[in-house]
Amino acid sequence: MTADKPLRIATWNINSVRARLPLLERFLADYAPDVLCLQEIKVETASFPRAWFADRGYPHMAIHGQRNHHGVATLSHQPLFDIETRDWCGMGDARHVATALSSGIVIHNFYVPAGGDVPDPEANPRFAHKLAFLDEMVAWSRKLSGPAILLGDLNVAPLETDVWSHRQLLKVVSHTPPETTRLAALADSHGWVDAMRHFVPPEQKLFTWWSYRARDWRASNRGRRLDHVWVSPELAPGLRAMAVLADARGWERPSDHAPVLVDIAPV
């Protein structure tokens, strides 16, 4: 980000980075974000394809990987500083990496637990873990200071218009009141500004994920907005553009998530 050029940042749950390199090749050629944040990379840190990204102009990397599942990575044209990881809920999962840009903006790249299928923390330990993870995020976020971006696959669709049917998904994990209430508390904890809804009014449908189970995902359009980009209040005046690249969901061997782009100008 320079005095006259916005920072273009992208987030994408890639659902296995090594399996999706052809998609990333196309995406980077077409959209060239300054910073690319990936979730669910499904590879250990040491085995991440560093040379592949460096060859394409992303030599600066903050990687927190894990074999077979989870894992996050932040790739950048510009240097990254103060790389940190955190063991959320003491589970040993690779679900967060933080790093700073030279501008002082700290980027928090998250992959929140999906939570399983049963929205009952007593019957489903995975759902209990998700709620505990969100609670821990709220307490952590209250202590943040300075310009920051929180993004990634938060695995919660908070608004009625963030799902294809509010009524039918109220008891489906990702849109249940225990989750949406906690995500609202997380937003309030730092005054986060929802960069996507800054451009798309809350009464308008907005999705970033479409299930693999749908034979024709585009025709049925039974989507959810699970991926988010939030900015701290001091960065909000610099928001310039946002796009959900839904066409990527239709590329060959796609992720079930679409990438999200946000342009942020200096403020």
Q: Report how far residue 226's alpha carbon sits from residue 114's, in angstroms, rounded to the nearest whole number.
A: 10
The HSE-up count of residue 171 (CA atoms within 13 Å, CB side) is 3
Instruction: State the SS3 of the chain.
Output: CECCECEEEEEEECCCCCCCHHHHHHHHHHHCCCEEEEECCCCCHHHCCHHHHHHCCCCEEEEECCCCCCCEEEEECCCCEEEEECCHHHCCCCCEEEEECCCCCEEEEEECCCCCCCCCCCCCHHHHHHHHHHHHHHHHHCCCCCCEEEEEECCCCCCHHHECCHHHHCCCCCCCHHHHHHHHHHHHHHCCEEHHHHHCCCCCCCCCEECCCCCCHHHHCCEECCEEEEECHHHHHHEEEEEECHHHHHCCCCCCECCEEEEECCC
What is the structure's pLDDT at 3?
58
* Cβ atoms 161, 206 nearer than 8 A: yes
Q: Does domain 7-264 have CATH number 1.10.3720.10?
A: no
What is the structure's pLDDT at 130?
98
What is the structure's pLDDT at 68?
87
What is the structure's pLDDT at 211?
95
Tokens linked to 60: 């600066």
Q: What is the pLDDT along the chain (267 residues), one digit of tens a residue?
A: 455 789 999 999 999 999 999 999 999 999 999 999 999 999 999 999 999 999 999 999 999 999 888 999 999 999 999 999 999 999 999 999 999 999 999 999 999 999 999 999 999 999 999 999 999 999 999 999 999 999 999 999 999 999 999 999 999 999 999 999 999 999 999 999 999 999 999 999 999 999 998 889 999 999 999 999 999 999 999 999 999 999 999 999 999 999 999 999 998
Domain boundaries, the chain: 7-264
What is the structure's pLDDT at 49?
98
What is the structure's pLDDT at 267?
85
What is the structure's pLDDT at 199?
98
Max CA-CA distance within the chain? 53
